[in-house]
């Protein structure tokens, strides 16, 4: 099951498996920032999640594709 939690009006936390370092954080941040409407991405490396702020609702398939395209897994 995908771990998604509302953390604010336009911020959603997505669980990301496989991140372990700064390079991982940068790769996921770059992939998610490229999605239309995304204004900010904050990586919680110890918590294995990405906090994504967007102006519109993001399609979960687009988020999954971005994360998987960077070499990680949405959980």
pLDDT greater than 50 at residue 30 = yes
Residue-averaged pLDDT of the chain: 91
User: What average pLDDT does this structure show over 4-13?
Assistant: 68
**Per-residue confidence (pLDDT) for residue 1, from 0 to 100:** 43
**Per-residue confidence (pLDDT) for residue 50, from 0 to 100:** 97
User: What average pLDDT does this structure show over 20-28?
Assistant: 96
pLDDT greater than 70 at residue 9 = no
- Cβ pair 32, 63 in contact under 8 A: yes
């Amino acid at each position: 099951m995908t771990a998604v939690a509302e953390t604010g009006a336009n911020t959603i936390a997505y669980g990301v498996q496989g991140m372990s370092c700064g390079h991982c954080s940068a790769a996921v941040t770059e992939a998610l920032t490229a999605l239309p409407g995304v204004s900010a991405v904050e990586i919680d490396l110890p918590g294995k999640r990405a906090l994504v702020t967007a102006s519109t609702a993001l399609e979960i398939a687009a988020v999954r594709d971005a994360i998987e395209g960077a070499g990680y897994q949405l959980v």
